[in-house]
Structure 1
Amino acid sequence: MRPGCVTSDMAKDTTGRLHVTVKTGGKRKLSSKLWLERQLNDPYVAQAKRDGFRSRAAYKLLEIDDKHHFLKRGISVIDLGAAPGGWSQIAAKRVGAADGKGRVVAIDLLAMPEIPGVTFAQLDFLAEDAPEKILKMMGGRADVVLSDMAANTTGHRKTDQLRILGLVEGAAAFAADVLNPGGTFVAKVFQSGADAELMTQLKRDFATVKHVKPASSRQDSSERYVLAMGFRGQPKALTSEQGGA
């Protein structure tokens, strides 16, 4: 077998479904083998390809919105850490961005191929001037801020938890700067969810705050989402360039 070559066997699991087992050669790590097996056996990965979505994560946003109905036609949405674009695709479709009814701005450090109805900005949303730049792009405030971001992991549990928390806190602070009154914030968290201090802040800024776990999240994953609706914070005043009076 050539180094890096991948072969697989198929057999039925205990439920009668076909299960792909990856056999690898060369220097492929066990973690890579397990990740590839998980992808090949994940029904949402296959469904995303059939439905034309860029990632299986699209179904998570679909499920959350089907239940809580915050992606309304004609509103403005900011998608943080958007690449490869699964959430932006769903947001654009539901708010009517491709038809000029709503608006979606996607942000990521990485480049992202164009999505109909989505304006993309390659920048760091944690930069001090990021809210001002994005508000100027949008011509006003957002009604929804989405974040399906996950920090790069080190394998050191405490360090990883701090990185994840810092990213969610940054996204929440960004949302408080750019949301319209009544707006919604959705962000990925892990394990027990957002920590107590962040939850306290969100409950001050939003009318309702809860944790949700869509069925399309992998069963063995600790990910959850914090859903904050009814923004009632006091955002900074808009300048005329950002769409204010």
Structure 2
Amino acid sequence: MTGKDEYYNRSKQEGYRARSAYKLKQLDEAANLFSPGDAVVDLGAAPGGWLQVAAEAVGEGGTVVGVDRQRIRPLDAENVETVRGDMTEEATVERLRDAVDGTGIDVVVSDMAPNMTGEYSVDHARSVHLARQALGVARDLLDPGGDLVVKVFDGPDLADLRSDMEESFEYVRSIRPDASRDSSSELYLVAKGYLTAPVSAGDELTVEITDEGREGDGIARVDDFTVFVPDTEVGEKVAIRIEDVKPRFAFAARQD
């Protein structure tokens, strides 16, 4: 039995709308994307296989909003909402913002793909453009520490896309799920730990130590963002260099 037949038949037997549902299942297994109660945005969601997987993973306490140019038939899941529209149009982006209604999003997933021309360089470039659209949505909606998954066709523009994603996340990895067809050049970039810090590694600044952490490190605040500075005491003003940045805090070394 071919890989294509296996996942197609499984989707029919297990009630998923598309064989692509198993791609998201495998991405979740590899990268630990979903937790109960999460809020998820699914871009390029038709016909709804990824919506089904995400809705199951986040459970009744979570929410999933799917967007696609095509109509998505209603699902038997009360935690799913859909928006019909083109994500390359600002009007659709605004409707998505209204749908999430200020809710902090934990995960953005995108299976968006261009209409295929058969010319590889064109299809690759268009897939990167759509991935950048998803990256823009993630930067707009993700909570600190949130995750992003984008589909892209392999090619020369992939390195620049990955570099841009790495600026906004703790790390980025590429995954090719087993459920992807052998003939496809698609892969998924999985970005973990969205960063919203006002500081970056290598920054040098002067701060006041205002508190002490549980491990005895000094704590400074930069625009309400927590920076841990070892070998300091409350009340000191010290020159520091940012060493490592996490979604909700950073580590620094004193420079004096």
Would the TM-score normalized by the shorter structure come out above 0.5? Answer: yes
Query: For 2:47, what is the secondary structure of its paired residue?
Result: coil
Asked if the contact 1:135/1:141 (under 8 Å) is kept, the reply is no
Alignment match of 2:51 (pick from 71, 83, 88): 88
The structure-2 alpha-carbon separation of the partners of 1:48 and 1:193, relative to structure 1 and needing over 3 Å to count, comes to farther
Amino acid at match of 2:71: A
Query: For 2:67, what is the secondary structure of its paired residue?
Result: strand
Amino acid at match of 1:103: T
Alignment match of 1:145 (pick from 105, 108, 123): 108
CA RMSD, 1 decimal: 2.0
Asked if the contact 1:207/1:230 (under 8 Å) is kept, the reply is yes
Amino acid at match of 2:179: S
Amino acid at match of 1:123: G
Q: TM-score, normalised by structure 2?
A: 0.71
* Cα distance in structure 1, aligned partners of 2:178 and 2:68: 26
Query: 2:218 maps to which residue?
Result: none
* Cα distance in structure 2, aligned partners of 1:130 and 1:112: 15
* Cα distance in structure 1, aligned partners of 2:157 and 2:53: 24
Query: For 1:53, what is the secondary structure of its paired residue?
Result: coil
Q: Deviations 1:65-95 (Å, cap 9, x if unpaired)? A: 1122121000100000100011000000000
| Aligned: 1:125 with 2:60 | no
Equivalent residue runs for 1:90-129 within 5 Å = 90-96=53-59, 99=60, 101-115=61-75, 116=77, 117-129=79-91
* Cα distance in structure 1, aligned partners of 2:89 and 2:197: 20
Query: CA shift at 1:128, angstroms?
Result: 2.1
| Aligned: 1:73 with 2:36 | yes
Can you give the 5+ residue segments of structure 1 that lack an aligned partner in the other structure? 1-16, 20-37, 236-245
Asked if the contact 1:193/1:226 (under 8 Å) is kept, the reply is no
Asked if the contact 1:186/1:226 (under 8 Å) is kept, the reply is yes
* Cα distance in structure 1, aligned partners of 2:26 and 2:156: 18
Decide which structure has greater helix share. 1
Structure 1 runs of 4+ aligned residues shifted over 4 Å read none
* Cα distance in structure 2, aligned partners of 1:179 and 1:143: 6
* Cα distance in structure 2, aligned partners of 1:65 and 1:192: 24
- Percentage of pairs with the same residue: 37
The structure-2 alpha-carbon separation of the partners of 1:153 and 1:64, relative to structure 1 and needing over 3 Å to count, comes to same
Asked if the contact 2:17/2:49 (under 8 Å) is kept, the reply is yes
Amino acid at match of 1:64: L
Query: 1:231 maps to which residue?
Result: 194
Query: 1:136 maps to which residue?
Result: 98
Asked if the contact 1:80/1:106 (under 8 Å) is kept, the reply is yes
Larger radius of gyration: 2
Decide which structure has greater strand share. 2
Asked if the contact 1:194/1:226 (under 8 Å) is kept, the reply is no
Can you give the 5+ residue segments of structure 2 that lack an aligned partner in the other structure? 199-256
| Farther off after superposition, 66-75 or 102-111 | 66-75
Asked if the contact 1:88/1:106 (under 8 Å) is kept, the reply is yes
* Cα distance in structure 2, aligned partners of 1:224 and 1:60: 10
Query: CA shift at 1:199, angstroms?
Result: 1.3
The structure-2 alpha-carbon separation of the partners of 1:176 and 1:75, relative to structure 1 and needing over 3 Å to count, comes to same
Query: For 1:149, what is the secondary structure of its paired residue?
Result: coil
Amino acid at match of 1:112: I
* Cα distance in structure 2, aligned partners of 1:130 and 1:155: 28
Query: For 1:79, what is the secondary structure of its paired residue?
Result: strand
Query: For 2:189, what is the secondary structure of its paired residue?
Result: strand
The structure-2 alpha-carbon separation of the partners of 1:150 and 1:234, relative to structure 1 and needing over 3 Å to count, comes to farther
Query: CA shift at 1:194, angstroms?
Result: 6.1
The structure-2 alpha-carbon separation of the partners of 1:192 and 1:212, relative to structure 1 and needing over 3 Å to count, comes to farther
* Cα distance in structure 2, aligned partners of 1:106 and 1:83: 8
